[in-house]
Structure 1
Amino acid sequence: MVVGVDGSAHSGTALEAAVAEADRRGVRLEIVHGRPWGGRGQGLCRGPRPYHTAQAVLRQAAARAEELRPGLRVSTSLVDRPAGSVLVRRGHDAALTVVGTRGHGGVTGTLLRSVSLRLAAHSPCPLLVVRGGAAAHPARGRVLLGLRSGADTEAAAFAFAEAGRRGVPLTVLHVWTRRTGGSPGCATAGFTERARAEQGVPVNAVARLRTDQRVVATDIETVRGRATDVLVGATADADLVVVAAHRRPGRTGMRLGPVARVLLHHAQCPVVVVPVPAPGRR
């Protein structure tokens, strides 16, 4: 498991979440401090002061991890490369990558100013983005899965396992939007048929998970509406929300799907974005 830190209070909150996640899984935690955003070409080792400051950030983070979970296996990495690219590379061998953000509406810190969105669009492993301070995330006793379709198998499996590790129920929330058009009679019949089919999406996803995962209390909800609005509202009662990334190519590289992007900015709990394998790699 990998967590990015930069010495800010918000990366400290991410560290606390990462320590808890590593402890639940019984895995080693790697604490990474990438190159500061001090300007183009300004490497971490260009002078003793930035280098020593970065070393101190890692020492303090490791000490905090030991304080939170004595005996947890922890390693630190000070890397003379931009934090975002470092965390993407580390993600190839990680079960989870963790970063923090300022809270509603933006990101902050030398590490976190733009890293969370870039990671969400490129991370090869699930990404946990912790928003705001620890006080902003009281325990609510459930994990929320935002399920777009039956193809979100990796996100569903992650949410199911996470609820089991935490010992809390899982709420599977599927949101769909009615498409208008056609004659009134056909539209009514089509709506009824569509509604019945949409009801089956989360039911079938949960049925598949229950055959090969630990027993988890599961609530299933199917709602017609705008996915971003419904999911953001539902995060008010969740400890964690899990969604699939649904990336697509853009002019400057891969772009994150709209639902995940909105949740990263406005969710009222930490967000896990799970990558969707390319066709043929499932």
Structure 2
Amino acid sequence: MTLHHVTVGVDGSLLSVRALDRAADEAARRRTELRVVYAVSDRDESGPILESAVARIHERHPGLRVMTKPVEGPAVRVLTEESRCAALTVVGTRGFGGVAGTLLGSVSLRLAAHAHGPLMVVREDHPCDTAPSADGPAVLLGLENDTDVDAAVYAFAEAERRGARLHVLHAQNHRHVTPELPSLLPATSPGQRRTAQRDRAEAAVPRFSLARLREHHPTVGVDARTVRTGPSGALLEATREAAVVVIGAHRRKGHVGPHLGPVAHTLLHRSHCPVVLVPTAR
């Protein structure tokens, strides 16, 4: 099944307006339909909220196709089901609250552990962008291991849609050394070749090889580096200069269901740009 539309969850709050704006930008960038979903206990309550959402979308993107969908039920369950048929699902979160370490907007956190497709989490302090630019912020891709291939595919496509560079940060576990691969950016002189050889370990990427994806997206410029310690901190710092960060959603089994790993938790709490979590191969 080919997935085209973008879905956004709204609830009438100012926070969900930020997610709505971002989702509308994403749908416009893809030239596809935007579905505005409101999880409610009574569908009669949804009318004014959805009407306001449509008016706002058409003000920002007059030609965008919009469908509204009030659904009865808890927000996490509703949006998890909606994510099955969406190219991207967008929700908002507030990040840190008054108590350090407490993530408000628990819908986004629980949804991140259950969504069936790519999920974008937008905080209220994340600026919206409407026009892709090669001179603008890059797309940031955080790689952990070979199961992140879908995240890499998404990130390349996102960089291509935006006309932006792709920055790849590979967190390498020192206990598992990734086989050396040729540099993503071929050297053009003996000096560059020597530099590439010295830096090969730092530029190593998972064995599915980003070079193959680069062939499918020849217009995307790629920078890659490897960190062996503190991947959460390195990714977090890199989000300061990124338009969006893309990571694999590494879900671990817990007593109350699947939960996310430490990198995802860190970015959902503190990222300086929107976070896209792409489900990894199980």
Tell me what 1:155 maps to.
151
TM value normalised by structure 1: 0.81
Does residue 16 in structure 1 map to residue 30 in structure 2? no
Distance 1:116 1:123 in 2: 10
Distance 1:198 1:5 in 2: 42
Where does 1:8-157 land on structure 2 (aligned, <5 Å)?
8-35=13-40, 43-44=41-42, 51-52=44-45, 54-105=46-97, 113-135=105-127, 140-157=136-153
Q: How far has the Cα of 1:29 moved from its partner?
A: 0.7
Does residue 238 in structure 1 map to residue 242 in structure 2? yes
CA contact 1:144–1:242 (8 Å) conserved in 2: yes
CA contact 1:161–1:214 (8 Å) conserved in 2: no
Q: How far has the Cα of 1:127 moved from its partner?
A: 0.1
Tell me what 1:263 maps to.
267
TM value normalised by structure 2: 0.81
Distance 1:207 1:172 in 2: 12
Tell me what 1:174 maps to.
170
Listed one character per residue, the Cα deviations across residues 217-241 of structure 1 (whole Å, up to 9, x for unaligned) are 1111112321111111111111100
Q: Any idea what SS the aligned residue of 2:203 has?
A: helix
Q: How far has the Cα of 1:135 moved from its partner?
A: 4.2
Tell me what 2:179 maps to.
none
When residues 129 and 145 of structure 1 are mapped into structure 2, their CA distance, relative to the original with a 3 A threshold, is: same
- Judging by fraction of residues, say which structure has more helix: 1
Q: How far has the Cα of 1:196 moved from its partner?
A: 5.6
1:164 maps to which of 160, 164, 187? 160
Q: Any idea what SS the aligned residue of 2:204 has?
A: helix
Distance 1:137 1:228 in 2: 25
Q: Any idea what SS the aligned residue of 1:77 has?
A: strand
Q: Any idea what SS the aligned residue of 1:152 has?
A: helix
CA contact 1:104–1:131 (8 Å) conserved in 2: no
Does residue 247 in structure 1 map to residue 254 in structure 2? no
Distance 2:209 2:106 in 1: 33
Q: What letter matches 1:44 in structure 2?
A: D
RMSD between aligned alpha carbons? Answer: 2.3
Tell me what 1:207 maps to.
211
Distance 1:215 1:34 in 2: 40
Q: What letter matches 2:172 in structure 1?
A: W
Q: What letter matches 1:248 in structure 2?
A: R
Listed one character per residue, the Cα deviations across residues 135-188 of structure 1 (whole Å, up to 9, x for unaligned) are 488995211000112331100010110011011100001123545xxxxxxxxx
Q: How far has the Cα of 1:249 moved from its partner?
A: 1.2
Q: How far has the Cα of 1:203 moved from its partner?
A: 8.6
Residue identity over aligned pairs, in percent, reads 48
Instruction: Give structure 1 stretches of 5+ with no counterpart.
Output: 36-42, 46-50, 180-194
Instruction: Give structure 2 stretches of 5+ with no counterpart.
Output: 1-5, 176-198
Tell me what 1:191 maps to.
none
Tell me what 1:39 maps to.
none
Alignment coverage as a number of residue pairs: 246
When residues 136 and 157 of structure 1 are mapped into structure 2, their CA distance, relative to the original with a 3 A threshold, is: closer
